[in-house]
Amino acid sequence: MKQAILFIFFFLAAFNCITAGEKDSTLNRWNPSLKVELNLSQIAFQDWSKGGENSFSFVGKINWKMKYKTENWSFENEFAAAAGRSRVEPDIIKTTANEMYNQSVFRFDIYDAYQSPFISLLIRTPITPGYDYKVTPEKVISGFFDPGYVTQSVGVFYSKSNVFKTRLGLAFEESFANKFADRYTDNAETTTLEYFKFETGIESVSDLNVNLDKDIIYKSTLRLFSGFDRLSVWDVIWKNTLTAKFNEWFNVNLFFLLVYNTKESLRTQMQESIQIGIVYRIL
């Protein structure tokens, strides 16, 4: 029920923000973009009478896109990764960001001006080992492609402008695990340990990109997936970023992430951060 309400709210907000599209001037050529971000925080004390601990944290992000479009079809590939660490002395260094994904979408723009069939491929995985810091000593609970998720889907893509786009389709999702199969891919109803899980279901991905002001941008992505054998339960990934740009290389980001995935946890996971850092656009 939570996921249904969330999706309705997101869709209504997006619908109100849709504007008329502009003529596309990027046909028949590759349009690459590469953005690198580095967000740092550091504080140090010496003979400080009011108390406090030395601390340091960083988050690095990379986003690389390649687009190609003709009058009849278009292809877009996006690779994104984030890695972050933090330490408050005398505590250990802890992981604060650890994800990577690659998404490819091929559209056949021959069906309708705003609607078109598509096929897509999505790969998701942690980059480095992830830890449970609630136990002592800390416990490794994930690693590179452990778990890993690969999703293929085919369906209908809708986009009336650069503000809002969405796609809905039949999806096939493979889940992989190795050392941590008991957490991510194992079926508790069997006596053997499963390292692979295959599901057929429905996937929906919606993107909202709104310029609230000249230098303030709101971006939101909502992904929903459910297998046909569990349509009452949906996996949810909802990413939200509000960016205030001071100039071309310095900005402030407010980030909120909501994840609901019963393969990982029966509880709703949430992450929030405020980041001030440097942005460098190579392309």
Q: Is the dihedral of CA 57, 123, 9, 184 positive or negative?
A: negative
Distance CA 192, CA 195 (A): 10
CA–CA distances in Å: residue 88 to residues 12, 20, 43, 55, 98: 42, 49, 9, 4, 19
Tokens of 195: 């390292």
Low-confidence ranges of the chain (pLDDT < 50): 1-22
Whether the CB-CB separation of 85 and 95 falls below 8 Å is answered with yes
Q: What is the CATH number of domain 2-281?
A: 2.40.230
The pLDDT, as a whole number, for residue 18 is 46
Q: What distances in angstroms separate CA 269 from CA 54, 135, 257, one per listed residue?
A: 29, 18, 8
pLDDT at position 281: 80
- Per-residue pLDDT at 23: 54
CB 237 within 8 A of CB 203: no
Confidence at residue 6, expressed as pLDDT on a 0 to 100 scale: 44
Residue 157: what pLDDT? 93
Question: Do residues 222 and 10 lie in contact, with contact meaning Cβ atoms separated by under 8 Å?
Answer: yes
- 129-137 long-range Cβ contacts below 8 angstroms, 24+ apart: 129/95, 130/95, 130/98, 131/94, 131/95, 133/94
Tell me what pLDDT residue 8 has.
44
Helix (H, G, I), strand (E, B) or coil at 18: coil
Structure tokens at 269: 């996971």
pLDDT score recorded for residue 111? 64
Count other Cβ atoms within 10 Å, centred on residue 148: 20
b/e map of 182-210 (b: 16 or more CB within 10 Å)?
eebbbeeeeeeeebebebebbbbbbbbbb
Domain edges within the chain: 2-281
- Alpha carbons 143 and 130: distance in angstroms, whole number: 6
Give the ranges where the chain is alpha helix by DSSP (H): 2-17, 181-184
Q: What is d(CA 93, CA 114) in angstroms, rounded to the nearest whole number? A: 48
151-177 burial by CB neighbour count: b if 16+ within 10 A, else e?
A: bbbebebebeeebbbbbbbebebebbb
Token reading at 118: 């598509």
pLDDT value of residue 170 = 98
Joined together, the tokens standing for residue 158 give: 């809708």
